Structure 1
Amino acid sequence: MSSNVVHETHSETVQSGRPIDRPRRPAWIEIDLKQLRRNYEVINREKTKGLKLLLVVKDEAYGHGGLKVAKAALEAGVEFLSLSNLDEAMALRGGGIDTRILLLGERQDEELPWCVAQNLTCCVDSQEVVLKLGKLAEKVGRPVPVHLKINTGMNRYGVRWTEALALVEFILSTKSLQFEGVLSHFAMSDELDKTFANLQLERFKMVLAELADKSIHVKYRHICNSGGFLDLPQAHFDMVRIGLLQYGVYPSQVCRRIPGIAPVMSVKARIAAFQNIEAEDVVGYGMRYKAPSPRRIGVIPIGYGDGYPRIRNEGYVLIRGRRAPLVGGVAMDAIMVDVTDVPEAQLWEEIVLMGRQGDEEISVHDVARWKNSVSYDILTGWRARLPRIYLS
């Protein structure tokens, strides 16, 4: 492991009570904070002057560590963060993050006083929520900013675009609230076919035109996610919401690339055991693998209990810069790999399950393909028992 380790996750050092000098388990996640900062530098150079960045750090910053990523984002000059629930927001506030936070999604009634007290900006899409926030704002005696969420076709959250103007006028009539932003969300902005994305954009622009006709000013207009930032410059408006891209992962295989962007997360482990097996021997639960000839099997102490996909006879790890294929089925705490073609492999040496080693790389998209899922699922799916190591 690199010598510039600076921190381990809250779950490792606090919840488990693990002393700093106790041996760490031989499987871990590395988060390269230097590369994260470099990604922010690249994104800042790429964006147009005056365009605001809202960085999405929900779900522990897509598995990278919410507080660490938030602090790095603020160092990069970001003025707005975004999360999806109150617990996430309170964790950042408790960690000393006092910058603006936009809460995506819907809020329960009992959450709203907390949002106002903690200076959390809510998305609104109904008169009921506007009324409740307005009354709370009156009690605290200061304007409370809100962002109107418009449903332009994804049909998840938001007021339908044809009904947005009426709700904006209702917000403006609630004098204790500050109508600050309008947002929507692309259902698919990162593929080559931009037909539906362009339709959503036209619906969004239709609402903006209605507001302009009424001389209604909006400080923040935002619809772009990472895919939109990369491929739809005409939709950037005042602010873009960067999620996956900041972590060095592109949302699709076909969206535009930016030189200098690279993954921040790697997953590593050490070889815990070897088994020398003969032809016709089987490996693992369910006897899913039968050796065609004498083979040397390495056992890696990580499994689906840590978030690695529960796959069979598919995928590979990197040992000494070479691919070693998975054999048998992934267990809760173990993966077996065929190291016959890497005869010099040694007990307890470092291997890579996701990331780069030598000239080879296993990307998050590779792991997602083996699982028949998406990169977001892989990044956020690593379990808390797998320690996070932060490299400066």
Structure 2
Amino acid sequence: MGTTRSLPHAEAPAASAPAVIHSEAPVSQPLPQGWPAERPPRPAWIEIDLAAIARNFERIRQDAPPGLSFLAVVKDDAYGHGVLPVARLALRAGVRFLAVATLEEGVRLRESGIRAPILLLGERAPMEFPWAVRYDLTCVIGERALALDLARCAARAEKRVPVHVKINTGMNRYGVRWDEAGHMFEQILSQPSLRLEGVLSHFAQSDERDKTFARTQLSRFQEVLQMLEGRGVRPSWRHLCNTGGYLDLPEAHFDMVRVGLLPLGVYPSQVCRRIPDLEPAMTVKARIVALQQLRPGDTVGYGMHYRSDRPRRIAVLPVGYGDGFPRVRNQGAVLIHGRRAPLVGGVAMDAFMVDVTDIPQARLGDEAVLLGRQGNEEITAMELAGLRHSVVYEVLVGWQPRLPRVYRSLPGPDNASAP
């Protein structure tokens, strides 16, 4: 007769344990459609609706006056939305220029097959000019010494390169002062390897209710244009407006306007003119990964900044300030089952907690929306900017790469979805 050996305790079969079925047992959840094949699963992600961006471009085009051209600003990975898909959608919509902030961003667009004009915003260091010339990236120039450096670099490459001259109309960041710009233009026009293609400036507060200084900047910009016209010079592209300027200062449109946030369905402030039916393209989601039952007096999180006043039920979401969520305490909310669940305690690097006492149907694996719409409720970028005491730009670019981007593609084979 064979000998029966008992299993060690750690290897005991599941049948030896009490068969308890928890009402909050998680249901197996598939990955969202479009999950990047190279990324392991994670119960937190960002969804980008490319169809919404395409519709936004169309609505902006319908809103624009006849003859106005657009430059799409796709810097910082198109404000976190994905530089390649957004750039492709912009060009499909008829945008004339793209613009980025770094040389690397421009090179990436070129190496991805994009041939449209690309403007390098800001000022370049001389070490960048050989790359800009090689990849046909158009430089913005606001320093006479840098104009000479670029001219020499282009001459060595036996090229004649376009430039856009930046005018400092009062922001005092980049550019030649509006009342000292004449010598800059003389220098550029005297260089055989440079071609004056554009002149631009940048508003300091076009998205605020008080447009006094914006109109001062407009007047200074017009002084420069009048000076050029007096010398028989008419650059092909005169551009001053950012998104706020496009919306609220039509007298400053000139030949082209620069839009970055607007095609993404986001406005720079609460006071700008609205275009009907623009749709935010970004949604940030996470799944509930833990639930806790609090008793009166229990505390939550680092520093114990929340103390329960009664029995409460809280859900844990695997997102934190390491992902770009604001590091707040007992402020803000997420959406679960279409209802607001307030944050409790402090946001940690990798997790935060929300109160789901009044959402009894909340279960492990349920989706929470951190940014975007669920049901009839919405968490906006403006709301998150308020938690940060910052601006919507920081909210959008602040989401870290460790949050996978999932692209909801356009229908058809040419869907611009490759990130």
Give the stretch that moved more between structures: 166-175 or 221-230. Answer: 166-175
Structure 1 Cα separation of the partners of residues 378 and 254 of structure 2 = 36
Partner deviation per Cα, 1:30-70 (whole Å, 9 max, x = no partner): 10000000110011111122211101000000011111111
| 2:179 paired residue number | 162
Asked whether the 8 Å contact 1:317–1:323 carries over to 2, the reply is yes
Partner deviation per Cα, 1:225-259 (whole Å, 9 max, x = no partner): 00000000000000000011111111110110000
1:384 counterpart SS class: coil
| 1:377 paired residue number | 394
Q: CA deviation at 1:4?
A: 8.4
Identity across matched positions, percent: 58
Partner deviation per Cα, 1:1-28 (whole Å, 9 max, x = no partner): 99984463xxx83xxxx3xxx5x20000
Structure 1 Cα separation of the partners of residues 284 and 30 of structure 2 = 14
- Given candidates 254, 259, 283, the residue that maps to 1:237 is 254
Letter of the structure 1 residue corresponding to residue 402 of structure 2? R
Q: Which protein has the larger Cα radius of gyration, Structure 1 or Structure 2?
A: 2
Structure 2 Cα separation of the partners of residues 344 and 5 of structure 1 = 25
| 2:329 paired residue number | 312
Asked whether the 8 Å contact 1:221–1:237 carries over to 2, the reply is yes
Please state if 1:251 is matched with 2:268: yes
2:232 counterpart SS class: coil
Partner deviation per Cα, 1:182-215 (whole Å, 9 max, x = no partner): 0000000011110000000000001001111111
Partner deviation per Cα, 1:84-115 (whole Å, 9 max, x = no partner): 11111112122221211000111111110110
Please state if 1:220 is matched with 2:234: no
Letter of the structure 1 residue corresponding to residue 225 of structure 2? L
| 1:358 paired residue number | 375
Partner deviation per Cα, 1:256-310 (whole Å, 9 max, x = no partner): 0000211110100110010011011101100000001000010111111101011
| 2:287 paired residue number | 270
Q: CA deviation at 1:136?
A: 2.2
- Given candidates 116, 120, 124, the residue that maps to 2:137 is 120
Asked whether the 8 Å contact 2:119–2:138 carries over to 1, the reply is yes
Structure 1 Cα separation of the partners of residues 122 and 156 of structure 2 = 24
Asked whether the 8 Å contact 1:307–1:381 carries over to 2, the reply is yes
Give the stretch that moved more between structures: 134-143 or 189-198. Answer: 134-143
1:210 counterpart SS class: helix
Letter of the structure 2 residue corresponding to residue 67 of structure 1? L
Letter of the structure 2 residue corresponding to residue 94 of structure 1? E
| 1:48 paired residue number | 65
Please state if 1:103 is matched with 2:120: yes
| 1:286 paired residue number | 303
Unmatched 5+ stretches in structure 1: none
| 2:199 paired residue number | 182
Partner deviation per Cα, 1:308-351 (whole Å, 9 max, x = no partner): 01100000110111011000000111110000000011110111
- 1:87-102 pair list within 5 angstroms: 87-102=104-119
Structure 2 Cα separation of the partners of residues 208 and 90 of structure 1 = 31
Count of residue correspondences: 381
Asked whether the 8 Å contact 1:4–1:391 carries over to 2, the reply is no
Structure 2 Cα separation of the partners of residues 151 and 377 of structure 1 = 24
| 1:68 paired residue number | 85
| 2:218 paired residue number | 201
- Shift in CA distance, 163/172, structure 1 to aligned 2, threshold 3 Å: same
| 2:101 paired residue number | 84
Asked whether the 8 Å contact 1:317–1:324 carries over to 2, the reply is yes
Letter of the structure 2 residue corresponding to residue 381 of structure 1? G
Letter of the structure 2 residue corresponding to residue 68 of structure 1? P
Asked whether the 8 Å contact 1:38–1:260 carries over to 2, the reply is no
1:187 counterpart SS class: coil
Structure 1 Cα separation of the partners of residues 88 and 101 of structure 2 = 18
Asked whether the 8 Å contact 1:311–1:370 carries over to 2, the reply is yes
Structure 2 Cα separation of the partners of residues 276 and 254 of structure 1 = 43
Letter of the structure 2 residue corresponding to residue 26 of structure 1? P
Q: CA deviation at 1:138?
A: 2.1
- Given candidates 313, 326, 343, the residue that maps to 1:296 is 313
1:304 counterpart SS class: coil
Structure 2 Cα separation of the partners of residues 341 and 4 of structure 1 = 27
Root-mean-square deviation over aligned CA pairs:
1.4
- Shift in CA distance, 169/5, structure 1 to aligned 2, threshold 3 Å: farther
| 2:228 paired residue number | 211
| 1:25 paired residue number | 42
Asked whether the 8 Å contact 1:315–1:370 carries over to 2, the reply is yes
